[in-house]
A and B are shown apart, each in its own frame.
Chain A
Amino acid sequence: MWDFPLFPDSASTHAPRVDALYIGLLLVSAAFTFAFAFFVLFFAVKYRRGSRADRSNIKDSSPIAEAFYITVPTLLGIGLFVWGAIVYFDLIAPPGDSVEIYVIGKQWMWKAQHPEGSKEINELHVPVGKPVRLIMTSQDVIHSFFIPDFRVKQDVLPGRYTTMWFLPTKVGRYRLFCTEYCGTEHSRMGGWVTVMEPAEYEAWLEGSSETTGMAAEGAALFRQYHCSGCHGTNSTVKAPPLEGVYGGPVPLLNDPADPQSGVKLIRADERYVRDSILLPKNEVVAGYEPLMPSFAGQIPEEDVLKLIAYIKSIGRGRPTRALDDRGMDPGEGAVTNVTEITGMPQQDNGGNER
């Protein structure tokens, strides 16, 4: 009965660092709380009405005391902020060689899809000791992907990709929750993350995967949705070929409505490919007419992910990972979401989103 957890398990590289910060904060807060409790009680009792304590020389303000208790908390606060920011940087910047898994949230389940093709629901299998990066989106409302034992959490939004990474350090099964209130079954929208030895993980992938990988399924969809009609090599419509697009710089019209507006270069990442499918008029490749119809509402999120996987597979490898919406390019340190590569005319996109 009395054995209940006071602390979550520590099962990722983030966990000990976040815990250290948490304990640091606990110590600071406990020090202040006990100091206040002590002084409040001590003064209240010592100077209770009728006591004979010395009350001569009463002051009702003191510039020295005030300066002291403005500066000390300010410095302490800035110190904690810096510490918190340092840990946070690592929390959002994945290392280069991550295993990439796609996650889709929907009322009320988590669907995960490994690039090799295996799919799972409310389960996530990952190898121990390897960084894992999740590329997540939602099919309906906002959800939030939370693994307490890893100290990671990230909202999952409709119409947008968010990413999250972790490096599991312990084999085992860990709880997975949805923490953004999402309706009736919110509290049941969870499951388990299973951390396995890498060899086991490979075996699991083999065992559970459909033989075709995501990219192959994407290639089929590419024809099924008639993308190939325009982008294919033999097509008569003038559309940019997609070979080599992913990962490379793409020249875009600064202002899609005005062909004379000049060109800016952006790096083609997952967001770019997704938006090109669903919102093709927003970013028009220089030298092409904005002819492409929008596929918004016609292609389910899972198929979008497969198409992206296909376009990735015919792209130029993966020189950068997708820039997540926090505007962080993990490979290159801090740059804005739309990476300006040259001194060409630039467009201010506000530093994040779309």
Chain B
Amino acid sequence: MSTESRADDPRSIEASDSTRGYLGADYSIKSWLLTTDHKRIALLYLASITVFFIFGGAAASLVRMELMTPRGDVFNTPDDYNRAFTIHGVFMIFFFLIPSIPAVFGNFLLPIMIGARDLAFPRLNLLSWYVYMAGGLFTMYALVSGGVDTGWTFYTPYSTMFSNTQVIAAAMGIFIVGFSSILTALNFIVTIHTMRAPGMTWLRLPLFVWAHYATSIIIVLGTPVLAITILLVAVERLFQVGIFDPAYGGDPLLFQHLFWFYSHPAVYIMILPGFGVISEIVTAFARKKIFGYTFMAGALLAIAVLGFLVWGHHMFVSSQSMYAGMIFSVLSFLVAVPSGIKVFNWTATLYKGSVSFKTPMLYALGFIGLFTIGGLTGLFLATMAVDVHVHDTYFIVAHFHYVMVGGMLMAYMGGLHFWWPKITGRLYSEFWGALSALTIFIGFNLTFFPQFILGYVGMPRRYYEYPQEYQVLNVMSTAGASILAVGYLMPLIYLPLSLVIGKVAGKNPWGAYGLEWQTSSPPSPHNFEESPIVTGGPYDYELQEFADMHRAVQEHGIV
């Protein structure tokens, strides 16, 4: 293929790298903390999200170590264990899974991908990071000053009337961080509507942008419901008014409806941006236009809409009406269809492609495998009779880790490796990159696959102690977790190291298509030297003219 030689083209290491782009524009601390550059804000997020992830991961390791034996030994009391899995869940969900891809990659790439100079509201964007940090520190405070033991789900009336831990403080932290999501989402929606470069029509938007568009809509519609729910919890706890506790005339199920009305769509808030990332990676490393582009974009929107209609599948044994259960069940089966479309189309994209196995692609292939298992086990849970048995057991824990860690987190790691050269201007070690992807894949399966079995034989989740017969599977899971931890530690070393010893990346180290690869690495503060004009679809790899255009960009810095 004629595009083949581009990655190795000596001209790709050239003038733009003599400056350090947006990174080198100013070095003062103030220039970072008061920046309105979407790229710098993305890096602020990257740093803080990484810290919270490590925090949540440390809690996971302790939880997993505790479960190595049937009796309590790591934690002194069951209460400490309960706090640990709550810390783990709260940080992973609200401070990692939900914000991470939009706040880091969305912030960095979305304006560049549509040919804009920044987001529509740069100062609002900075504010959203401060709000995120405020929420995070608040929650951190709540968790170290006594902790919370309700689980990240805060079910009532336990959370409102019975738990004597820092429920209100933790809930307020989550309340605050919700505003950060809303601000970012609004900013994305307005940006996508108003700031597209000339020629960037809706059907020329990269799928990454479509994914963030769909996600932002869910965030804007869903998060306020969570905020209200949390306020109601605080009100009942503080003033003993009967909202959820039947002892005061409240309804114990009301909370679950409100909570899942947000939190089920929230799992799509986590996974849709991941779909966007995977689409970009698969098409770039198959060097082929993504298969079924319009279906891929349509599936994203379909998931966003259907995702609002299935919350009741978390409540099949809660005593909700049988008819409600049936409707939630059938809708849950239907939501699997657009997810299936995505997997089919990624696979079809490989067909007749020119596939290279660089680190981001390894993560993406891992994603396809793990997400498929996570998604298909979702069908077990949508099947009411089977869900009755596996609900609130380790089967659920395995299922959501396959979707959230095997899916979203693999996408996040893939994206991090894919755009790292763009963000920093440096290449990391391919050897260590590939090794980390492989280690994570193996460690992951060893950790979470046994949990499906464990769940079906009956081990309930959130158990500090468990019957002896479940030990072997738990030991396997804990062993896998330590391999997994090693896999996550590697990038923490070789990625920062690449800043010092990494090769200079050049504009387009992967020979990928897309506006972000047409500008320098790292991009200049205003993204493009000249505003781009878009003349083709997002992935026109087959076009001969692409090769020529690419060369023109390399030489003249224009599109």
Contact = CB atoms under 8 A, between A and B. Distances in A.
Given A77-B337, A155-B319, A177-B460, A29 B377 contact: yes
Interface stretch (A1-9, A206-214, A232-240): A1-9
A88 B324 CA distance: 13
Q: Which of B319, B353, B473 has the most CB of A within 10 A?
A: B319
Given A32-B372, A327-B322, A81 B78 contact: no
Given A4-B473, A48-B356, A158-B247, A17 B385 contact: yes
Nearest to A337: B321
A144 interface: yes
A182 interface: yes
A84 B385 contact: yes
Nearest to B245: A158
Interface stretch (A34-42, A110-118, A219-227): A34-42
A8 B456 contact: yes
Interface stretch (A184-192, A243-251, A258-266): A184-192
B338 to A, nearest CB: 9
Interface string B56-87: 00000000000000000000011100100000
A188 B465 contact: yes
A283 interface: no
B542 interface: yes
A80 B319 contact: no
Given A142-B252, A187-B463, A32 B376 contact: yes
Given A36-B369, A60-B291, A154-B317, A55 B354 contact: yes
Given A36-B368, A84-B384, A146 B458 contact: yes
B294 A187 contact: no
B386 A40 contact: no
Given A47-B355, A84-B385, A149-B458, A61 B341 contact: no
B344 interface: yes
Contacts of B383: 21, 25, 80-81, 83-84
Contact of B391 (A6, A92, A179): A179
A47 B354 CA distance: 5
B323 A158 contact: no
A199 interface: no
Nearest to A37: B369
Contact of A179 (B153, B376, B392): B392
B388 A53 contact: no
A175 B357 contact: no
Contacts of B382: 81, 84
A17 B385 CA distance: 9
A183 B357 contact: no
A325 B319 contact: yes
A52 to B, nearest CB: 11
Interface stretch (A68-76, A94-102, A312-320): A68-76
Contact of B385 (A21, A155, A297, A326): A21
Helix, strand, loop or mixed for chain B's interface? helix
Interface centre among A49, A144, A175, A334 (most CB of B within 10 A): A49
Nearest to B86: A181
A66 B151 contact: no
A87 interface: yes
A47 B353 contact: yes
Contacts of A152: 388-389
Contact of A66 (B246, B295, B334, B471): B295
A177 B251 CA distance: 24
A28 B386 CA distance: 15
B351 interface: yes
A288 interface: no
Contacts of B287: 49
A116 B486 CA distance: 59
A155 B315 CA distance: 9
B348 interface: yes
Interface in A312-354: 324-328, 334, 337, 351-353
Interface residues of B, number: 98
A344 to B, nearest CB: 23
Contacts of A154: 317, 319, 388
Contacts of B151: 181
A178 interface: yes
B341 A66 contact: yes
Contacts of A352: 320-321, 324
B352 A55 contact: yes
Contact of A184 (B4, B82, B344, B350): B82
Interface in B269-322: 286-295, 317-322
A160 B321 CA distance: 14
B155 interface: yes
A166 to B, nearest CB: 11
Contacts, number: 287
Contacts of B472: 1-2, 4
Contacts of A8: 456-458
Contacts of A334: 322
Contacts of A129: none
B365 to A, nearest CB: 6
A60 B513 CA distance: 16
B453 interface: yes
Question: Which residue, B82, B245, B388, has most C-beta atoms of chain A within 10 A?
Answer: B388
Contacts of B295: 61, 66
A152 B458 CA distance: 11
Contacts of A28: 376, 379
Contacts of A175: 458, 467
Contact of A85 (B149, B251, B329, B392): B329
A148 B389 contact: yes
Contacts of A149: 458
A326 B319 contact: yes
Nearest to B392: A179
B373 A33 contact: yes
Contact of A142 (B158, B456, B462, B542): B158
Given A181-B151, A186-B463, A187-B78, A22 B352 contact: no
B329 A84 contact: yes
A124 to B, nearest CB: 16
A13 interface: no
A183 B369 contact: no
A185 B465 CA distance: 10
A298 to B, nearest CB: 12
A120 interface: no
A120 to B, nearest CB: 20
Contacts of B360: none
A141 interface: yes
A186 B462 contact: yes
10 contacts: A33-B376, A43-B350, A47-B351, A65-B292, A69-B341, A78-B333, A81-B383, A87-B384, A179-B392, A181-B461
Interface of B: 4, 77-79, 82, 149-151, 153, 155, 157-158, 161-163, 245-247, 251-253, 286-295, 317-326, 329-330, 333-334, 336-337, 340-341, 343-344, 347-348, 350-357, 365, 368-369, 372-373, 376-377, 379-380, 382-386, 388-389, 391-393, 453, 456-458, 460-467, 469-473, 542
Given A179-B393, A181-B151, 18 more contacts: A4-B471, A4-B473, A5-B457, A7-B457, A8-B457, A18-B388, A22-B456, A29-B376, A43-B347, A44-B355, A58-B352, A59-B291, A142-B155, A157-B246, A183-B82, A183-B158, A184-B79, A353-B253
What 4 A-B pairs have minimum CB-CB distances, sorted nearest first? A159-B246, A148-B458, A77-B333, A84-B383
